[in-house]
Homo-oligomer: A and B are copies of this chain.
Amino acid sequence: MLADTNLITGKKDIKVVLEQLENDGIIGISVDCVIFGFDENELKVLLIKSDLKKFEARWSLLGDLVNNHEDLDQAAYRVLKERTGMDDVYLEQVRAFGEVNRHPAARVVTIAYCSLINIHHHKLKILDNELHWHRLATLTEMAFDHKTILDVCHEWLQKRIQEHPLGFSLLPQKFSLRELQNLYEAILGVKLDRRNFRKKFFSMELLEDTHELESDVPHRPGKLYRFNYDKYQKKERKKWFGIDF
């Protein structure tokens, strides 16, 4: 039967494993990472060309089967590390997708993860030339149920970013308020008032002035800020937000 070895040594192996699973009537478990990036004021997602004939020419999320000896989170980190060369990345589970026929080769339940990385980070290396940062806006058909997963993760992100400081993972460590606002506008698909946006963030007192300025901009440079995670951690979280639905 399935040996407890690393199954991730190439595309062919996965196919063989899936075939085996299907023959034995076993449910496989995978993780799929929705890796978001932010570039040119647009939200992007890291995709790979599907290797299944059925889905040729369609884009697919980055995923892999979960090894027997690794936690789900570890599996997701592994996928991320293998594909981007980065660790220390924002990564969070969103939810499981387990429709019976979501994968044509075998029954596979997948755990979807959402990851946010800075596209321009120096450690980021997209070696595989099958990989591609795709604009979210112009993405319709995808392999498997990956479009559904992507949509769910996007909605999850829209909600999450308003309540937790994760957007900063998409930006360089030092960023201008304009960049931050563009980010929020891109993710939420709304226009925000610049002055109120600044007021909001300054009133939180979680942005540190780096006393540096933007460079290479053809206009007055903006100040660069850094998000103070330590201070955020120490803040007490409120349990009561107010009923509203």
Contacts and interface: CB of A to CB of B under 8 A. Distances in A.
Contacts of A159: 241
B162 A241 contact: yes
Interface stretch (A82-90, A92-100, A115-123, A215-223): A92-100
A176 interface: no
A68 interface: yes
Contacts of A68: 25-27, 107
B188 A239 contact: yes
A164 interface: yes
B66 A109 contact: yes
A244 B164 CA distance: 8
Contacts of A107: 68
B100 A71 contact: yes
A230 interface: no
Q: Which 4 A-B pairs rank lowest in CB-CB distance, beginning with the nearest?
A: A72-B98, A1-B24, A4-B25, A96-B96
A40 to B, nearest CB: 23
